[in-house]
A and B are shown apart, each in its own frame.
Chain A
Amino acid sequence: MSGFFKSSIGRKVAMALSAFFLMFFLIIHLAVNITSVFSEDVFNELSHFMGTNPAVQFALQPVLIFGVVFHFVMGFVLELKNRKALGVSYAKNNGAANSTWMSRNMIYSGLVILAFLVLHFIDFWIPEINVKYIKGDMSGMHGGEYRYFHEIVAKFESPTRVVAYVVSFILLALHLLHGFTSAFQSMGSTAGRKKALQKFGKIYSFIIPLGFIIVAVYHHFNHH
C-alpha cells in the first residue's frame, strides 16, 4: 500500500482525498459564517463553540491543518514532477483548443488561495490562538459581550481586505470548478463526468465562494 501512494496514480488519489475533505470543510465554514449575516447571537454562539470545544480544537483542527498543508505540498510536488516530464516547450501551443483555463492553471489559482490563507491566518487564526492559548482567555468575551461578531465586523471595515478576500474567492471558484469533478476522476469514478454531478459541481463552485463574498461585503457595508 505504501508503494501505491508513491505511484503517480496514488499521488492523484491522495490529492483527491484531501480535496474532498477540504471541500466538505468549506461547507461547514460557510455555514457558520453565513449566520453572521442573519443573527449576531447565533454567529457568536457557533463561533464560541467552534473556538472552545476540545474536540473541534484538538481533534478536527489539527486534521484540517494537516489536510490544507498536505494538499498544497502535494500540489507543488506534482507540479514540479509534471514540469520535469515536459520536453522542450512548443513554439506554438493552443491549449484553449482542448481544455479549460481553470484546468490548466490549478497551480496558479491554488497559489492565490495559499496567499489568501496566509492573510486569513494573520487576520483571524493567529489572534485567536493568542487570546485563547497565550493570554489564556477562553471566555470569548470582550467588554461584557461576545467578541466574535465585533471582530469580524472590524476586520471587514478595510476595503483593501474586502477586495483581497473577494478576488481570492473568485480564484477559489475557478479552482473548484475544475477540482470538484477532477477529484472524482482521480478516485477512479466516472461520476464526475456525468451531467448530474457536473451540474452539482458548478453549483457548489459558485455558491460556496459567493457565500463567503456575501459575508465579507455585507459586513463592510453594515458595520455598526
Chain B
Amino acid sequence: MSGKGMNLTLKIWRQKDAQSKGKMQTYKVNDISEHMSFLEMMDVLNEQLIAEGDEPVAFDHDCREGICGMCSLYINGEAHGPDRGVTTCQLHMRMFNDGDTIYIEPFRAAAFPVIKDLVVDRSAFERIQQAGGYISVNTSGNTQDANAIPISKHAADEAMDAATCIGCGACVATCKNSSAMLFVGAKVSQYALLPQGQIEAADRVKNMVAQMDLEGFGNCTNTGACEIECPKGISLDNIARMNRELIKASVK
C-alpha cells in the first residue's frame, strides 16, 4: 500500500438493547491505513457516525494489547477475524484488501446474550470460574512458600499454557455447538496439573462442569475449531484432561 488507504464496506450487527431484535447494517469507511488495528478502524467508523449524528457501534475493548480478553467480534465468519493467535485488537487491517466487504457480528451463543450491538454478556464464564476455578489457601500466617513445593518442568509448562486462557469466549463463538469446553478444560487443567490443585480437584471439575451445563453451553463434538480460533492457542488436550478429571472424580 502506498499513500492511500483502503475503502471498505462493513456489514455490522446493530441491536438497540437486549430486548430488541437486531439486524445487519451496511456502512462505508474510507482511507483506512493497513497499519491500523481492527478496533482502530472501528474507532474511525464511530467518529464518522458521531459526526453524522448517528449512534456509534457499541463493542467491547479494554487493554488493546491482547491480554484482557474483553474484545470479541466475529469477523468474516471467524472469531477475532482471519488471523491466527491474535485477539481482535491485535488484528491488523493489512489482513484485508481495498474494496473488501467485512462482516462484523457479535459472539453468538444462547449463553452469551447480546447486550447492545456487538457487546455480549459473557458473565456465564465468571459463574463457571466461581463454581470451582480457584484453590483454597490457608492464610493463617504459616502458609507454605509456593516455591518450596517441587513441580516438574513439564507440568509447570502445561499448567502455564492452560493458564494463558484469557476467557474471551472465542471458543464458544466459533463452536458449532456453542460449547465452552475449551475454556472450562483450560481452567480445570491449570489446577489439575499442579500439586496445589489436587485437594479440591474432584469437586472442582464436578462443579465447574455442572455450572457449564447449567449455563446452557453445548456439548463438544471435537471439531477442533476452538483450538484453531483461540487467540492463546489453548490445546484440545485440555478438554481431554477435563474429561479424564471428571471420569476420575465420578468413579471415586
Contacts and interface: CB of A to CB of B under 8 A. Distances in A.
B103 A91 contact: yes
From A87, A186, A187, name the one whose CB has the most chain B CB atoms within 10 angstroms.
A87
Interface in B23-55: 24
A223 interface: no
A4 B78 CA distance: 33
Interface in B91-115: 103, 105, 108-114
Interface in A57-97: 78, 81-82, 84-95, 97
B247 A98 contact: no
Given A190-B237, A193-B236, A12 B223 contact: no
B222 A186 contact: yes
B250 A182 contact: no
16 contacts: A4-B246, A7-B213, A7-B246, A8-B212, A9-B247, A13-B243, A78-B219, A81-B218, A82-B218, A85-B217, A87-B112, A92-B11, A98-B174, A99-B223, A106-B221, A185-B236
Interface residues of B, number: 53
A90 B24 CA distance: 10
Interface of A: 1, 3-4, 7-13, 78, 81-82, 84-95, 97-100, 103-104, 106, 178, 181-182, 184-190, 193
B195 interface: no
A103 B109 contact: no
A13 B222 CA distance: 12
Nearest to B12: A91
Contacts of A193: 236-237, 240
B220 interface: yes
Interface of B: 11, 13, 22, 24, 74, 76-78, 82, 103, 105, 108-114, 174, 176-179, 181, 209-210, 212-213, 216-225, 228-229, 236-237, 239-247, 250-251
A51 B246 CA distance: 41
A161 B56 CA distance: 61
Given A1-B250, A189-B244, 18 more contacts: A7-B213, A8-B209, A9-B209, A10-B246, A85-B110, A85-B178, A86-B110, A87-B178, A90-B74, A90-B77, A94-B78, A95-B176, A97-B77, A97-B78, A98-B224, A99-B224, A185-B240, A186-B243
B243 to A, nearest CB: 4
Nearest to A96: B77
